[in-house]
Amino acid sequence: MADLFIVCLSGSRERLQFAAMTASVAAVSGRAVSVFLSMNALPYFVAGSAASPEPEGKVGAMLDAKHAPSVLHLFEQAVELGEAKLYACSMAMDVLGVGEDGLAPILSGPMGLTKFLSDAESGQLVVF
């Protein structure tokens, strides 16, 4: 099975939810998973952030109403139960003014896009 590389750019609940579900299921199924968090997705992975991704449509609002597992919880499961690593985009960190010590504990640290894409050459790349 090829390693799975996920790029998260969107800050919408639906897209982050599906990215987290994909990472979690793949990791628990024995695939190595690397997640690259950038642009509008990264603010939800800053240490101490209580913000929740906003829904972009009816399904996102229903996820909240039905108390679906949070995006952060699903990504935590991927890291804890499988071989998943989450990385913060170093450029987005600069734009947001976030240092490495400002990242949520489940992140493995910062990474540049060039390195992430180089690693992804041998695997399957999905963008959310």
What digits encode the pLDDT tens for the residues 6-16?
999 999 999 99
The mean pLDDT value for 11-27 works out to 96
- Whole-number pLDDT of residue 64: 84
Query: 4-127 has which CATH code?
Result: 3.40.1260.10
- Whole-number pLDDT of residue 48: 87
The mean pLDDT value for 53-60 works out to 92
Is the pLDDT score of 50 beyond 80?
no
- Whole-number pLDDT of residue 49: 83
Query: Which residues are bridge partners to 107 per DSSP?
Result: 86
- Whole-number pLDDT of residue 35: 98
Whole-model pTM over 0.85:
yes
Distance CA 71, CA 83 (A): 17
Query: Comparing C-alpha atoms, which of 127, 128, 105, 103 is closest to residue 53?
Result: 128
Per-residue model confidence as pLDDT tens digits over 68-122: 999 999 999 999 999 999 999 999 999 999 999 999 999 999 999 999 999 999 9
The mean pLDDT value for 59-72 works out to 91
- Whole-number pLDDT of residue 1: 77
